[in-house]
Amino acid sequence: MALADEMLEKIKLSIVNMEDQKAVELTKLALADHAAEDILNQALIPAMEIVGNEYEEGRKFIPEMLLAAEAMTGALELLKPLLARSGAKKAGKVVMGTVEGDVHDIGQRMVCIMLEGAGFEVLSLGADVSASEFVQAVKTANPDILGLSALLTTTAPRMKSVIEALQKEGLRDKVKIMVGGAILNQRLADEYGADGYAPDAASATRLARTLMESRA
Amino acid sequence: MYYLYNQVTEMTPMERMMAALRGEKPDRVPVHIYPRFAPLEYLGLKFHQAWEVPDLYVKAQILGQERFQYDCVIDYDMMGPVEEALGTVLKYPENDVPMVKEPAIRTKEDMKKIQWKIDPRKDGNMPKVLYVIRRLKEELLKRGGGKSHVPIMTWGSCPSRTVGCLLGFQKWFTTVVRDPEWAQELMELALEPWLEMVKAEVEAGADLVWVNDPVSSADCISRDTYEKLTQPMERKFIEAIRRETGVPVVFHPCGNWHDRLDLVAQNQADCYFLGPMDIRLCVEKITEQNRAGKARAKAINGNIGATTPSANDKKVPVPYATTLDKGTPEAIEAECKEVIQVVEGSGLRSIIGPNCWTPQGVPFLNIDAVVYSARKHGRL
């Protein structure tokens, strides 16, 4: 058992240290005597929590977050089919995207990776997504949470348009909406009618968990 | 009231701005608000219309300045014409500056294929930017009776930002950590084309240059990476602009730079157009570097809250965020007064303005309040 724990610890550290190849190799080895769900819950999720905390504390920055996320994604890709087969319970389902007219993708991508690392099923629509595309995705994917990102003063108000479009289609109450991006703050999130605001990828994960609890 | 307050002046906008940028005493604090949208909104235009018909942009800049009475106009500004000429595909929104759609470089082989030598007078949209500067100069001079004109600010992209546009920002960020030598090589290559463009902009009639770096703040990279990688290139670019053109350089640290203000001040700009940061801390750090002989800052431009939320480093409160956009004229006046007092009290010159571009949809009365405040509280 001690050896097994050591392996999970090594995977965790390889992600925190942004060693993508090592994370994949160790995950392959770990799968010989670990359930995929254990690797996810005891190595990948804690690793991304550490990375997120270090980002919030100003000890890691965007490059380190992205590289750690790459390492985590490599490991997660190995686990995904096994998790699907085992019927492991997801933390929730999230549809994410940057609003129309805004091609800034890094923020929403970081949130997606952190959410995946935290056990959420994530569907990323990418950047420059129209209100009708968000509505369509909510209809077809039926997510628990819709995440909207914007970096610009000019595009942030389109979050409100998305929320209004969901209201018009009678979908607003079926999904929790969280917003984020450099230009956002709690006041704007309230003004747009969102259920929550997160200033960065780490807090977005916490917010998503809180929103899931409020759905329960 | 705000619009009409005390229009008696002793200096022209050019004299006022240049005095402040030299660290000399103007008749009153100048106002520079990076007026992209307000002039267009004044004429009922969207940005794409002014991009398609450059003379509309010129008209908006001139009539906007006459309406609001600030002290500096801007050219097309932040259009990315050099990055576009180097191969990056841009997306042009209806009412904003372009964004990167397809980066020019994905591999080191791509880098070798780029034609780094550009001709600003011929290639891509660069001639259009130069045309607007020339037309602004002609029209403003006409209005100044051929003797003086409102200063024209142009823009240059610092190497880190340029490479971000060439690589795509995600790849840029991972490259600075995983392959800093390549990041360095790319920045060295990217410096020259933009320097050529800035030289052409000044030759066309620009009177001052602003340079921004949106990728090196404490929100983006570590202080160590900034110190070793991007700050030296920032400094090299700023020093080259001054050496080659002789015009003042304003640097905009975009975002939160609280932990690296000493390094920012050492990049040798004449003026710092501050992002959403604590004015007292900025002034303290910049004057400290001036006293140590490591900086040459003469003025601070900013930093009334404009477009961004408070810098959230949980260490230094930033009281000015979003005021220009959402605040009342009274709140703006109070902030202007405070900024002027803090900056002028430090021995630096204040050029009052927002803490980023003046965003879309700012009530005209709020812009009037800035000019009013400079007239009321900025008489020196």
B50-93: pLDDT as tens digits: 999 999 999 999 999 999 999 999 999 888 999 999 999 998 88
Average of per-residue pLDDT across B118-132: 97
Contacts of A63 in chain B (CB under 8 A): 173-174, 176-178, 221, 225
Alpha carbon distance B122, B128 (integer Å): 9
pLDDT computed for residue B5 by the predictor: 57
Alpha carbon distance B199, B319 (integer Å): 38
Provide ipTM, 2 decimals: 0.88
Average of per-residue pLDDT across B28-34: 96
Contact at CB, A67 and B221, closer than 8 angstroms? no
Nearest CA in chain A to B175: A63
The helix-helix angle for A2-16 and A62-86 (nearest 10°) equals 140
Average of per-residue pLDDT across B221-242: 97
For chain A, which domains are there? 2-86 (1.10.1240.10), 92-215 (3.40.50.280)
pLDDT tens digit sequence for B197-211: 999 999 999 999 999
pTM for the whole thing?
0.89
Checking if the pLDDT of A175 tops 70, the result is yes
Alpha carbon distance B53, B32 (integer Å): 25
Nearest CA in chain B to A18: B178
Q: Is A5 exposed, middle or buried (0-12, 13-18, 19+ CB in 10 A)?
A: exposed
Contacts of A155 in chain B (CB under 8 A): 96
pLDDT computed for residue B39 by the predictor: 97
pLDDT tens digit sequence for A79-125: 988 887 877 778 899 999 999 877 777 888 889 988 988 889 999 99
Average of per-residue pLDDT across B229-250: 98
pLDDT computed for residue B313 by the predictor: 58
Checking if the pLDDT of A180 tops 70, the result is yes
Q: Which of B173, B259, B308 is facing A66, going by the closest CB pair? A: B173
Could you give the percent of chain B with pLDDT greater than 90? Answer: 79
The CATH number that domain B13-377 falls under is: 3.20.20.210
The two three-digit tokens of residue A215, written as one number: 């759905």
Could you give the percent of chain B with pLDDT greater than 70? Answer: 93
Average pLDDT, chain B: 92
B247 has a chain A CB within 8 A of its CB: no
Angle at B73 between CA B196 and CA B307, to 5 degrees: 95
Give residue B316's pLDDT band: very low, low, confident or very high (50, 70, 90).
low
Q: Which of A18, A70, A154 is facing B96, going by the closest CB pair? A: A154
Alpha carbon distance B327, A132 (integer Å): 33
Checking if the pLDDT of B244 tops 70, the result is yes
Domain borders along chain B are 13-377
